[in-house]
Amino acid sequence: MGQIYVMDHPLIQHKVSMLRSKETGSKEFRELVEEIAMLMCYEATRDLPLEEIEVETPVAKAKAKALAGKKLGIVPILRTGLGMVDGMLNLVPAAKVGHIGLYRDPETLEPVEYYCKLPYDAPERDIYVLDPMLATGGSASAAIQFIKDKGVQRIRFLCLIAAPEGVERLNKDHPDVDIYVAALDEKLNDHGYIVPGLGDAGDRLFGTK
Ligand code: URA
């Protein structure tokens, strides 16, 4: 079973509350999503391996630590996942960025991949899949499956707000994938919105409503 990590850092919780407010406009919303993604990245990379190195300070030689060269990749699910990319890259600028886009077939209701471009060496990387809202888990689960089908084995999923239904679905379909969330909400409503949630993340990010 995948682990679920609820990020209870006070800065994250404070910023999520601001994000939820319907008074928050697109500019501030975008900034908050980026900041929360950066703080979540900090927490979700806690277990990155380190190695000993030697550096020369202006005073003396020092034994120090550096990241042990583990390669990371970031894959936002289009379009809302895009809002989290810069926050992650602020902390891990060497990460490569792939993109995946899905739509729901109107007849079968099955998710269909319409775009997927991953780093050429994605199977050797730890891949962080990004989507701010984990609602039913249908798209996230399908996106993760499409990424696995391209040979990627080590995947983590980062979202800002999750519904219990989405967490359950991801755990069932992908028990090997750990989930990092800033808030675990109560439920989904009849329209598939997370309650209390924050409304439509894409429209709020891009001002399309
Ligand atoms: N997607 C959103 O943007 N908001 C929700 O509440 C659920 C899915």
For the segment 137-194, what is each residue's pLDDT rounded down to a tens digit?
A: 999 999 999 999 999 999 999 999 999 999 999 999 999 999 999 999 999 999 999 9
Specify whether the CB–CB gap between 36 and 19 falls below 8 A: yes
Pocket test for ligand 1, best of 77, 198, 209 (most atoms within 8 A of CB): 198
At 68, list the tokens.
């042990």
Q: Are strands 133-134 and 154-162 parallel, antiparallel or unpaired?
A: parallel
Say if residue 137 carries a ligand binding annotation. Answer: yes
Q: Residue 15, Cβ neighbours under 10 Å: how many?
A: 19
Say if residue 163 carries a ligand binding annotation. Answer: no
Specify whether the CB–CB gap between 52 and 63 falls below 8 A: yes
What is the identity of the amino acid at 27?
K
Q: Measured in angstroms, how far is the CA atom of residue 193 from the centroid of ligand 1? A: 5
Say if residue 131 carries a ligand binding annotation. Answer: yes
For the chain, percent of residues with pLDDT exceeding 90: 94
For the chain, percent of residues with pLDDT exceeding 70: 100
Q: Measured in angstroms, how far is the CA atom of residue 67 from the centroid of ligand 1? A: 35
Residue 121 has pLDDT above 90, yes or no: yes
Residues having CB within 6 Å of any atom of ligand 1: 133, 135, 192-194, 197, 200-202
What is the identity of the amino acid at 14?
H
Query: What pLDDT does 117 receive?
Result: 98
At 186, list the tokens.
């109560």
Q: Alpha-carbon torsion 154, 158, 164, 169, what sign? A: negative
Query: What pLDDT does 202 receive?
Result: 97
Residue 48 to residue 190: CA distance in whole angstroms: 40
DSSP three-state, residue 129: strand
Say if residue 134 carries a ligand binding annotation. Answer: yes
pLDDT grade for 2, boundaries at 50, 70 and 90:
confident
Residue 11 to residue 23: CA distance in whole angstroms: 19
Return the active site residues. 104, 108, 200, 203
The H-or-E segment that residue 178 falls in is strand 178-184
Q: Enter the pTM of the model.
A: 0.96
Query: What pLDDT does 149 receive?
Result: 97
The number of C-alpha atoms within 13 Å of 45 and in the hemisphere containing its C-beta is 22
Query: What pLDDT does 1 receive?
Result: 76
Query: What pLDDT does 70 receive?
Result: 81
| Mean predicted lDDT score pLDDT of the chain | 96
Q: Measured in angstroms, how far is the CA atom of residue 194 from the centroid of ligand 1? A: 6
Which residues is 156 bridged to in the sheet?
Answer: 128, 178
Specify whether the CB–CB gap between 50 and 66 falls below 8 A: yes
Residue 108 has pLDDT above 90, yes or no: no
List pLDDT tens digits, range 42-80: 999 999 999 999 999 999 999 999 999 889 999 999 999
Q: Alpha carbon of 178 to those of 95, 127, 199: distances in Å?
A: 19, 11, 25
Residue with CA nearest ligand 1 atom 4? 200
Pocket test for ligand 1, best of 200, 203, 208, 209 (most atoms within 8 A of CB): 200
Query: What pLDDT does 195 receive?
Result: 98
Nearest ligand 1 atom, CA 200: 3
Q: Measured in angstroms, how far is the CA atom of residue 118 from the centroid of ligand 1? A: 25
- Which DSSP state fits 77? B
Query: What pLDDT does 53 receive?
Result: 97
- Which DSSP state fits 207? T
Name, in order, each residue with C-beta under 8 angstroms of 20's C-beta and a sequence gap of 6 or more: 196, 197, 198
Query: What pLDDT does 193 receive?
Result: 96
